[in-house]
Amino acid sequence: MIALRPYQEALRDEVLQHLRPGCNVLAVLPTGGGKTVIMADIVHRNQGAAAVIAHRSELVGQIAKALNQAGVRHRIIAPEPVIRQIISECQRDHGHSLYDSNALAGVVSVDTLVSKTGMVKYKRWADSVTLVLQDEAHHMLKSNKWGRAALMFPQARVLGVTATPCRADGAGLGAHADGLFHRMAEGPSMAWLIKNNYLTPYKVFCPPGFDRAALESAISATTGDYKPGAAKEAVAGHMGDIVPSYLKYAAGKRGICFAVDVEAAAQIAKSFSDSGVRAEVVSAKTPDALRSSLINQFRLGQITILVNVDLFGEGFDVPAVEVVIMDRPTESYSLFSQQFGRALRILDGKTHAIIIDHVGNVARHMPPDMRPWQWTLDAVDRKKRGATDTDPMRICRGCSQPFEAFYKACPYCGHIDEPTDEDRKDIKRLLGDMTELSVELLNELREQILAAERTPEQYERELLMGTMPKQYVAGAVKKYAAKYEARRLQLEQYEQIADLWGGMQLSRGLQLPEAYRRFYLLHGMDVLTARAQDNEGLAAITARLAEDIAMEMMK
């Protein structure tokens, strides 16, 4: 039996406190935090039959091994070759296998379970199951096969586990939305796990040459992610940079490369092999036995790079991973975060992981330990990335490392991109840095404020000088005066919060230009444009500033 870490015990206890008929629970723990061992422990403690559902043979095998280590006899519902392979691996790794075709607990392949044969063959066992556990539970919706699989167990409580309870399509995982869950239980963050030495630190390098802008119009209306053809076309131009970047930043280290499709993966693997680095392609099309053999060779160090296509993004547990190479752009934060986390598991002699991002994923999403998430079971509007579409990070042209976009100088090498005269005419290029604006643009922005803050007396003079009949002026001015007073009160509240927020930015060591930039990234507008907003706009900005202040105080 594997002893749980204290934070794993705390999450398990919270789950068991709320897991009951009529209350399905979603447990959240970052990649590498030990979700599988928590599931195995809960199955070990369960009185009665339990089913653990996984959606790929690697994950079925991984969960079966965890149950094996936890001393739980278990059946495996999967194709016969997969069952034989898992039994063999348990005997190889643990010296025994607790596989039992009549066991109360079972590890289930979702595809086998929801097949017509599976629904009939395993119905009696399914009716006896009192606990269902779903790995990678962000897949679970009422309308898809993962949801239908869980609903095949009518007497069961449902526990889902995931590192990222969000979806690119915006669907909500709550029972009140598109999913099955009534409550969420959250473990510690990735930042906490790294700080407390449960995950390894990392370094990120983002070689230049990829233009993500070409993909902005290529997002699938169904998945919320980039269309495969567009993604493949976008990465084609820099395929030759992958191996040189690996040799520059991570030579000799074992890694996983994420490719857009099997053809691209084959090209990448050949490039590595031609350079003397043994690499192999693994995908869903690779036969199970061969795939298992290649993964084991990687584990033993006989293969240096595994190039895969959306295979190891979820649940792949091989601590030997030291490097993750991203060559598959994605709008899915969940997919990005899981890929990123593959390299963070602790390994003897490993001081840090290396992430080599060729496709702008890090700049788009931020490293998972840096991004403050407030998870929800609600559906979200995927069109709203936040207040701004500007990427939260940018890449240093000097050292190729990413850093938060509000910094003016690269914190790693000190490089500064000085703005050009054209940049100074465009507030977006400057990320709202008021200290770099041209005089002409600064005057334009000030004019917006003067227009928004004109007094009722000034408004009356404008009307009298215009075309409005004089008999209507008094009524119009009266209405405007009421709006003006409401805006004045809203503006006072905004100024109080904005002053507090600005003071906090300077107290944390930011310079004034960096505070301006951070404001822009938070709101999608500069400080002068923000002040010129109407009541509704000012209220929204004030609320975001207050929320940011609260989050800063919690750090």
Distance separating alpha carbons of residues 550 and 548, to the nearest angstrom: 5
Number of other CB atoms surrounding residue 495 within 10 Å:
13
Please, are residues 269 and 243 in contact by the beta-carbon 8 Å criterion?
A: no
Residue 118, pLDDT above cutoff 90: no
Write out pLDDT tens, residues 119-159: 888 899 999 999 999 988 999 999 999 999 998 999 999 99
What confidence score (pLDDT) does residue 9 get?
97
Q: How far apart are the first and last CA of the chain?
A: 36
Number of other CB atoms surrounding residue 127 within 10 Å:
13
What confidence score (pLDDT) does residue 384 get?
52
Please, are residues 83 and 76 in contact by the beta-carbon 8 Å criterion?
A: yes
How deeply is 328 buried, as exposed, middle or buried, from its count of CB atoms within 10 A (0-12, 13-18, 19+)?
buried
Distance separating alpha carbons of residues 245 and 209, to the nearest angstrom: 12
What confidence score (pLDDT) does residue 213 get?
75
The pair of three-digit structure tokens given for residue 206, joined into one six-digit string: 């983002």
Distance separating alpha carbons of residues 442 and 308, to the nearest angstrom: 50
Please, are residues 99 and 76 in contact by the beta-carbon 8 Å criterion?
A: yes
Please, are residues 504 and 396 in contact by the beta-carbon 8 Å criterion?
A: no
Q: pLDDT band at 385, cuts 50/70/90?
A: very low
Residue 316, pLDDT above cutoff 70: no
Half-sphere exposure of residue 139: CA atoms within 13 angstroms, side-chain side: 19
Please, are residues 324 and 356 in contact by the beta-carbon 8 Å criterion?
A: yes
Question: Across residues 299-319, what is the average pLDDT?
Answer: 81
Residue 221, pLDDT above cutoff 80: no
Number of other CB atoms surrounding residue 96 within 10 Å:
10
Whole-number Cα distances in Å, 275 to 46, 66, 265, 269, 326: 52, 37, 16, 10, 19
What confidence score (pLDDT) does residue 44 get?
93
Question: Across residues 180-190, what is the average pLDDT?
Answer: 96
**Predicted TM-score (pTM) of this structure:** 0.85
What confidence score (pLDDT) does residue 313 get?
66
What confidence score (pLDDT) does residue 1 get?
62
**How would DSSP label each residue in 184-248?**
EEE---HHHHHHTTSS--EEEE--S---GGGGTT-B-TTTSSB-HHHHHHHHGGGGGGHHHHHHH
Query: Residues 47-66, buried b or exposed e (16+ Cβ, 10 A)?
Result: eebbbbbbbbbbbbbbbbbb
What confidence score (pLDDT) does residue 341 get?
92
Distance separating alpha carbons of residues 173 and 142, to the nearest angstrom: 9
What confidence score (pLDDT) does residue 315 get?
61
What confidence score (pLDDT) does residue 317 get?
67
Residue 551, pLDDT above cutoff 90: no
The pair of three-digit structure tokens given for residue 452, joined into one six-digit string: 């928004």
Please, are residues 61 and 89 in contact by the beta-carbon 8 Å criterion?
A: yes
- Mean pLDDT, the chain, as a whole number? 90
Residue 276, pLDDT above cutoff 50: yes
What confidence score (pLDDT) does residue 319 get?
66
Q: How far is CA 527 from the centre of its chain?
A: 29
Write out pLDDT tens, residues 466-524: 888 888 889 999 999 999 999 999 999 999 999 999 999 999 999 999 999 999 999 99
* More confident call, 206 vs 238: 206
3 state SS of 429: coil
Write out pLDDT tens, residues 318-359: 667 999 999 999 988 888 998 999 999 998 889 999 999 999
Number of other CB atoms surrounding residue 500 within 10 Å:
12
% of the chain with per-residue pLDDT over 90:
67
* More confident call, 238 vs 188: 188
Distance separating alpha carbons of residues 390 and 407, to the nearest angstrom: 14
Question: Across residues 413-434, what is the average pLDDT?
Answer: 92
The pair of three-digit structure tokens given for residue 473, joined into one six-digit string: 């002026």
Whole-number Cα distances in Å, 8 to 12, 29, 66: 6, 9, 15
How deeply is 404 buried, as exposed, middle or buried, from its count of CB atoms within 10 A (0-12, 13-18, 19+)?
middle
Distance separating alpha carbons of residues 315 and 221, to the nearest angstrom: 26
Closest CA to 31 of 411, 321, 416, 458: 321
Q: What angle do CA 300, 302, 306 make, to 5 degrees?
A: 95
Number of other CB atoms surrounding residue 313 within 10 Å:
24
All domains in the chain, ordered by first residue = 6-188 (3.40.50.300), 194-372+388-404 (3.40.50.300), 423-554 (no CATH)
Question: Across residues 368-387, what is the average pLDDT?
Answer: 75
Distance separating alpha carbons of residues 119 and 315, to the nearest angstrom: 26
Please, are residues 545 and 467 in contact by the beta-carbon 8 Å criterion?
A: no
Helix, strand, coil fractions of the chain, as percent rounded to 5: 45, 15, 40
Residue 438, pLDDT above cutoff 80: yes
Q: How far is CA 33 from the centre of its chain?
A: 15
Q: pLDDT band at 174, cuts 50/70/90?
A: very high
The pair of three-digit structure tokens given for residue 547, joined into one six-digit string: 């929320």
